[in-house]
Amino acid sequence: MRVRTNLSSVVASVGKGKATPPRKAQVGRVYGVVTTENTPTAAMFKKAGGFNGIGSVFYLDYNQAKDTAGNAGDDFLDKCKIAKSLSSQFQYFPILGELVYLEDLPSPTSQVTSNNSQKYYISVVNLWNNNQQNSQPASDQSALGLTFVENPNVKTLLSFEGDHIIQGRQGSALRFGSTTKLFSNLNEWSEIGNDDNPITILSNGFSYEPGEKFHVEKINKDLSTIYLTSTQKLPLQPDRTGNVNPLTSPIDPSKYYNAQIIINSDRVTLNSKKDEVMIFAKTNVEISTKNIINLNANERIHLNGGTVFLGTVNNQLPSEPLVLGNKTYDLLLDLLGGMYEFGTSLSTVIGSPEGAPAIDINTAAEGLLNTLDRATDRLEGILSQQNFTA
In the three-class reduction of DSSP (H, G, I as helix; E, B as strand; rest coil), residue 323 is classed as: strand
Residues 176 and 114 in one domain: no
Evaluate whether residue 13 is within a structural domain. Answer: no
Residues 106 and 233 in one domain: no
Residues 116 and 158 in one domain: no
Residues 182 and 281 in one domain: yes
Residues 259 and 195 in one domain: yes
Domain count along the chain:
3
Evaluate whether residue 300 is within a structural domain. Answer: no
- Contact (CB, 8 A) for 5 and 19: no
Evaluate whether residue 308 is within a structural domain. Answer: no
pLDDT tens across the length of the chain (390 residues) = 444 455 444 445 545 555 556 667 899 999 999 999 999 999 999 999 999 999 999 999 998 888 888 888 999 999 999 999 998 888 899 999 999 999 999 888 777 776 678 999 999 999 988 888 888 876 666 788 888 888 888 889 999 999 999 999 999 999 999 999 999 999 999 999 999 999 999 999 999 888 888 999 999 999 999 999 999 999 999 887 666 777 888 888 999 999 999 999 999 999 999 999 999 999 999 888 888 999 999 998 888 888 888 888 888 888 878 888 787 778 777 776 777 677 666 656 566 666 555 666 777 777 777 777 777 777 777 778 777 776
Evaluate whether residue 180 is within a structural domain. Answer: yes
Evaluate whether residue 303 is within a structural domain. Answer: no
Angle at 108 between CA 102 and CA 112, to 5 degrees: 125
Parallel, antiparallel or unpaired: strands 81-85 and 57-61: antiparallel
Domain finish residue from 294, 309, 344: 294
Evaluate whether residue 271 is within a structural domain. Answer: yes
Residues 218 and 350 in one domain: no
Evaluate whether residue 131 is within a structural domain. Answer: no
- Contact (CB, 8 A) for 102 and 26: yes
Evaluate whether residue 7 is within a structural domain. Answer: no
Q: What is the DSSP letter of 348?
A: T
Domain finish residue from 55, 89, 124: 124
Residues 213 and 93 in one domain: no
Query: How far is 116 from 12, CA to CA, in rounded Å?
Result: 41
Domain finish residue from 274, 294, 314: 294
Q: Report pTM.
A: 0.79
Residue 251's domain spans which residues?
151-294
Residues 164 and 277 in one domain: yes
Residues 184 and 278 in one domain: yes
